[in-house]
Structure 1
Amino acid sequence: MPEIPLDAVDRKMLVELQLDGRMTNSQLSDKIGLSPSPCLRRLKQLEADGVITRYVALVDPDQLGLGVTAFVRVRLDQQDDRHLTIFEEAVAQFPEVMECYLMSGDADYQLRLIVENLKAFENFLRHKLTRIEGVSQLTTSFALRPVVYKTALPI
């Protein structure tokens, strides 16, 4: 159950904005069948409630020469709060880390990295990731190509 109750109009609005976050309020109101003033009020309320957290541009990594996506599973030698905090604060500073999840199972964390090439990946491992206190084991898989990549949540 969501924290903020959303009606059908809110959901429709979120679907449309996930497809095009740059549309004008007028365009959005036309798409969801609501006049501009109440549409804008609802939009501002969704932002104030934290349902909409920010607006971004999605950039093609290949166009920037960032052709290698790696998934790295990380085990720490200790899983106490201090070591978890040290790791989480460190990886949050690395621009190569696109996502980081605390995991259940055989790894403590799963990272998704994007880098230029394998040399850049090796440098990241040697000079950043393995230097974090408590990192004891890394397992890496490389993405060959994306099959499904979505940014829109299923609403």
Structure 2
Amino acid sequence: MPAFIDRTDRAILQALADNARISNAELAERVHLTPTPCLRRLRRLEESGIIQGYTLRLDNAALGLGISALIFVQLERNSLDNANCFEAAVRELPEVTECSVLTGGHDYLLRVTVEDLAHYERFVKESLASIPQVANIDTRIVLKQVLSRSMVPLPDAARR
């Protein structure tokens, strides 16, 4: 059963999505609490697993990472052993920034970030295609990222 979050919890989560480095004092002010109850709520959200961690967003272009690709992967055979082996291999590839299991015609979706097309080609041929469980690789190069959100739509507390 999903955890219940009220309007104040939602405001805390939104403020953290906007700036995860906000101080507790500033967070408390933004959500109209004093610092102690604000920190108590924050700790409860962390301990319940609603807040799983805090991350850093980087500017890929500023780092010379000009290619972002979405790669659909189909395994030779979609078995538990093949999946475990594939997932373990993918975890070792630093170019892979996301890996999701899918339904339908593909088994996995990977997001890969590399410097340029030459690096992408090398990644596919030397790393991804060399994983024994991989049967098919289908790539889409991202031309422009229009939106990236860390915040998900929160359930409406009034409907619960």
Other-structure match for 1:141: 140
> Shift in Å at residue 32 of structure 1?
0.3
Following TM superposition, by how much is the alpha carbon of 1:45 offset from its aligned partner in structure 2, in angstroms?
A: 1.2
The 5 Å alignment of 1:76-115 reads: 76-115=75-114
Deviations along 1:82-107, whole A, 9 cap, x unmatched? 00000111111111111111111111
Indicate the percent of aligned positions where both proteins have the same amino acid: 37
- Aligned equivalents of 2:29, 2:134: Cα separation in 1: 52
User: TM (normalized to structure 1)?
Assistant: 0.95
Report deviation, 1:46: 1.0
Q: Which runs of no fewer than 5 residues in structure 2 stay unpaired?
A: 155-160
Task: State the shift of 1:134 in Å.
Answer: 1.4
Q: Say if 2:81 is the partner of 1:60.
A: no
In structure 1, C-alpha distance between the alignment counterparts of 2:103 and 2:54, rounded to whole Å: 31
Across the aligned residues of Structure 1 and Structure 2, the Cα RMSD in angstroms comes to 1.0
Deviations 1:109-152 (A, max 9, x none): 11111100011111111111011111111111101111222222
TM-score scaled by structure 2?
Answer: 0.93
Specify the alignment match of 2:74 in structure 1. Answer: 75
SS for the counterpart of 2:140 is: strand
Partner residue, 1:132 = 131
Q: Number of aligned pairs?
A: 154
1:23 aligns with 2:44: no
Q: Runs in 1 of length 4+ with deviation above 4 angstroms? A: none
Can you give the 5+ residue segments of structure 1 that lack an aligned partner in the other structure?
none
**For structure 1, which segment, 44-53 or 75-84, has the greater mean C-alpha deviation from structure 2 after superposition?**
44-53
| Partner SS state of residue 129, structure 2 | helix
CA distance in 2, matches of 1:87, 1:72: 14
